[in-house]
């Protein structure tokens, strides 16, 4: 029996079962319950193992989403099976999944200027190209989060983050395309031009914005919003900050299996070290579990960029172990016995004075990446690359090393369904567009 922590209880609606039933009674409920879906998003039956839901993306295009017993997919769209499911097909029958990735993200050599000539081989995992609508690491997590939400017929996603939360924007964009509305409860963070732009993008893509100011305020707003949405029969799904939850972390378990396939196919060597930024910690937790299950021996170098309830090394490795135990309970071919934790190098040196602060090292790393044709930002990915630069210059970089680029590379401004005008955001957020920025 698996124990849920609070985040997972809220994410799954406080129930153990997250899949949609395929019974006739359930289908009848989908067709006739007046709260099952908005009038323009009615469900219809007749699909073996589930039902069809009509959804609209922000551009007004309609598509059908099939809800199977534990599997969610877009009808008529060919989606490559997750590498996790290719290796452990039994998991595909028990884990809700909503495919978002275009396929395996490329692994490429990364040559940075101004590094010593004897710098060991450096590679980059191009998650900036993960999804055509929103790139980065968030679609990996949302494949499983949205799958679980759709399976329980949720109509609203509720999540929290800083004013410029990339996770919140990804949830808004990709959740909308799956037929769900999003509420973002936002807290203060240092202002940059990118944060201001993200705030406008949240509203442009249709998110409902709620100001939480700080952690206690956000917690109070969260339970208020959850209560209101529940009373409206929206079956709200709480998505923990950063998508860090049992379902969300699965995205990077699958990512580790994807990397293992690329190593096996000769696309890249097995990394001695794999570098990734630590925000809420979910990507690192998933990778830690996935590397063990996939048989990769790479050491994980987690670069801390968050000082708001940062995950400790003990919590990261403990959560990875719990994730392996859960998967072993779902698939008899997975054993959690006798498995050692991966090596973890937990780095705090790149954080700066606070979350979101722009550091000189991050600025330089972002410039070096730009010269190599890679787009980064100063809150997460540039700080991670900055640690690689420091180690290369001091002779401490092991080779081959892999930099996992978790930044979104899609131009979401060009795709925005509404102009980025200050008038589209609520009055509580207007002042953040007028205050000086830290760039």
If you average pLDDT over residues 156-166, what whole number do you get? 96
Q: Is the pLDDT of residue 268 over 50?
A: yes
287 lies in some domain: yes
If you average pLDDT over residues 334-360, what whole number do you get? 90
282 lies in some domain: yes
10-24, 139-153, 283-297: range with lowest mean pLDDT: 10-24
437 lies in some domain: no
300 sits in which H/E element: strand 299-304
The answer to whether 170 and 146 are in contact (CB under 8 A) is no
254 lies in some domain: yes
Contact partners, residue 295, CB within 8 Å, separation at least 6:
260
Q: Is the pLDDT of residue 403 over 80?
A: yes
CATH number of the domain where residue 333 is located? 3.40.50.1100
State the chain's mean pLDDT as an integer. 85
Q: State the pLDDT confidence band at 79, using cuts at 50, 70 and 90.
A: low
pLDDT at 196: 96
Residue 73's closest CA among 164, 156, 144? 144
Q: State the pLDDT confidence band at 395, using cuts at 50, 70 and 90.
A: very high
262 lies in some domain: yes
What's the total number of domains in the chain? 1
pLDDT at 69: 38
78-82, 310-314, 365-369, 400-404: range with lowest mean pLDDT: 78-82
Local structure of residue 55 (DSSP, 8 states): E
Rounded Cα distance between 381 and 384, Å, is 5
116 lies in some domain: yes
Q: Is the pLDDT of residue 329 over 70?
A: yes
**Number of CB atoms found within 10 A of residue 224's CB:** 12
Q: What percent of the residues of the chain are helix, what percent strand, and what percent coil, each to the nearest 5? A: 40, 15, 45
Q: 354-381: per-residue pLDDT in tens?
A: 998 999 999 999 999 999 999 999 999 9
- Boundaries of domain holding 268: 107-135+244-412
160 lies in some domain: no
Q: 164-190: per-residue pLDDT in tens?
A: 999 999 999 999 999 999 999 999 999
Contact partners, residue 89, CB within 8 Å, separation at least 6:
none
Task: Please tell me whether residue 321 adopts helix, strand or coil conformation.
Answer: helix
43-52, 204-213, 273-282, 379-388: range with lowest mean pLDDT: 43-52
Task: Please tell me whether residue 297 adopts helix, strand or coil conformation.
Answer: coil
pLDDT at 338: 64
115: buried, middle or exposed (CB in 10 Å: 19+, 13-18, 0-12)? middle
pLDDT at 388: 99
Residue 237's closest CA among 334, 342, 125, 153? 153
58 lies in some domain: no
pLDDT at 67: 42
């Amino acid at each position: 029996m698996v124990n849920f922590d609070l985040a997972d209880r809220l994410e799954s609606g406080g129930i153990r079962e997250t899949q949609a039933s395929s019974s006739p009674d359930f289908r009848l409920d989908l067709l006739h319950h007046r709260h099952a879906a908005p009038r323009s998003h009615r469900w219809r039956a007749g699909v073996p193992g589930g039902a069809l839901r009509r959804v609209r993306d922000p551009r007004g295009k309609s598509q059908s989403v099939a809800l199977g017993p534990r599997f969610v997919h877009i009808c008529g769209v060919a989606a490559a099976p997750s590498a996790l499911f290719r290796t452990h097909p039994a998991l595909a029958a028990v884990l809700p999944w909503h495919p978002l990735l275009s396929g395996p993200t490329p692994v490429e050599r990364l040559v940075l200027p101004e590094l010593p000539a004897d710098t060991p081989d450096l590679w980059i995992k191009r998650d900036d190209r993960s999804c055509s609508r929103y790139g980065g690491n968030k679609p990996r997590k949302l494949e499983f989060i949205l799958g679980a939400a759709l399976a329980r017929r949720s109509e609203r996603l509720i999540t929290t983050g800083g004013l410029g939360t990339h996770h919140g924007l990804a949830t808004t964009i990709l959740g909308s395309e799956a037929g769900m509305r999003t509420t973002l409860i936002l807290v203060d963070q240092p202002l940059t031009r990118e944060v201001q732009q993200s705030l406008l993008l949240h509203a442009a893509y249709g998110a409902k914005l709620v100001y939480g100011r700080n952690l206690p305020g956000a917690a109070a707003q969260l339970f208020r919003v959850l209560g209101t949405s529940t009373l409206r029969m929206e079956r709200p799904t709480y998505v923990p900050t950063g998508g860090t939850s049992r379902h969300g972390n699965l995205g990077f378990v699958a990512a580790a299996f994807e990397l293992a396939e690329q190593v096996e196919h000769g696309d890249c060597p097995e990394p001695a070290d794999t570098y990734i930024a630590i925000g809420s910690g979910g990507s690192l937790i998933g990778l830690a579990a996935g590397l063990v299950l996939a048989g990769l021996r790479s050491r994980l170098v987690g670069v801390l960029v968050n000082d708001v309830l940062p995950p400790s090394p003990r919590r990261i490795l403990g959560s990875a172990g719990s994730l392996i135990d859960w998967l072993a309970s779902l698939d008899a071919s997975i054993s959690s016995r006798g498995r050692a934790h991966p090596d973890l190098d937990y780095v705090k040196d790149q954080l700066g004075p606070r979350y979101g602060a722009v550091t000189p090292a991050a600025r330089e790393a972002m410039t070096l990446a730009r010269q190599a044709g890679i787009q980064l930002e100063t809150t997460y990915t540039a700080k991670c690359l900055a640690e690689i630069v420091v180690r290369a210059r001091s002779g401490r970089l092991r080779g081959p090393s892999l930099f996992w680029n978790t930044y979104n590379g899609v131009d979401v401004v060009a795709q925005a369904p509404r102009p980025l005008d200050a008038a589209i955001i609520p009055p509580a957020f207007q002042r953040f567009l007028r205050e000086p920025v830290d760039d």
